[in-house]
Chain A
Amino acid sequence: MGRLIPVVLLAIAAVVFPLSVETIFLDVGIERQLGTVQKIFYFHVPLAWIMMLYGVVCGIAAAVQLRRQSRGAEAIAIAAGEMVIVAGLGVLITGPIWGHASWGKAWTWDARQISTGLLWLVFVAYVLVRRYGAAGSERLAAALAIFGAVDVPIIYYAVKIWKTTHPSNEVVVSLPPEMWAALWPALGALLATATALVAIRARQELCEMELDDAWVRAEDPSVGTKGETT
């Protein structure tokens, strides 16, 4: 069953993605103020939502792992952390491309850009500590993931708290139905792809942990399942 989930999600993405491109480029009209370049919105915004979603997932999973020493939570935290890096990089590249076309400047140092950049750097640090940290560094990594998850509401409320070049959050809520009709398929395709990749990565991480244990037991049969000597 677990193996089927990524396959099903990728199949859904493969069907929805062409539909999304068709809706964005052929069905929905050109936004009057921003022009054609506004079509970046249909991928930039869902990508930002996915980045924030997996930031929160990673923070929660890291907290669970810290408290219960759960391998499943650890694997989900690592996979979600990597997805934050991938989606975050996408947001940090597509945003300036859109800004360059519509504001005339790629990077304006506004609060939402800075908090998004900070989130990305925190999760890069998390993944680096997880990968290269010494024994016991999981606690530091988990703390970083929780800190990163706390940054998510800051990104959301940045446009309310500070004066920014980004539009307010109400812009998305008040979109006309035809724009929502283009946004849903794009969100669906990206979310399905991202979730499939997270599921594959989490499964690989669990497999790697079990393989490590198996190697230790093969070398020394007196060692227990989680590396402890019996």
Chain B
Amino acid sequence: MSTMLMLGAPEAAAEAPAGDGGGDEYEAVEGIDRETIECQRSCEAVAARKTASDYEHIVWAYGVLWSLFAIYGLMLWRRGQRLQGDVASLQAKLGRS
């Protein structure tokens, strides 16, 4: 009898049940062999690492992008404040003269 391997319970499927007249009805479970599982796990790990790295890059890219716009917006707001101050001091000067 060939040894079968099941994901999560490798020992459980190894032997056929004894007696109870079920001999003819017994059908071995066709599981996935260890090499295939290890190969899949390894591929999944590579894909997970790639996805995590990709998201890290995306977060950096979007963060930089919107930070640039926010910094420029802040600079414009400060410039606006300075202009308002300038207008106020001009008005004060004209009021004095």
Contact = CB atoms under 8 A, between A and B. Distances in A.
Contact of A94 (B65, B76, B90, B94): B65
Interface of A: 35-37, 39-40, 43-44, 47, 82, 86, 89-90, 93-94, 97-98, 100-101, 193-194, 197, 200-201, 204, 207-208, 211, 214-215, 218
B54 A35 contact: yes
B90 A211 contact: yes
A201 B83 CA distance: 12
B11 interface: no
A101 B54 contact: yes
B57 A100 contact: yes
B68 A43 contact: no
Given A36-B51, A36-B55, A218 B65 contact: no
A97 B53 CA distance: 11
Given A36-B54, A218-B93, A94 B69 contact: no
Interface residues of B, number: 26
Contacts of A214: 90
Given A47-B65, A97-B57, 11 more contacts: A36-B58, A40-B57, A40-B58, A43-B62, A90-B64, A93-B61, A93-B65, A93-B68, A197-B73, A207-B83, A211-B86
Contacts of B65: 43, 47, 90, 93-94
A181 B87 CA distance: 46
A97 B65 CA distance: 11
A93 B76 CA distance: 22
Contacts of A204: 76, 79-80, 83
A197 B93 CA distance: 31
Nearest to A212: B86
B68 to A, nearest CB: 5
A90 B58 contact: no
A211 B87 contact: yes
B61 A98 contact: yes
A40 B79 CA distance: 32
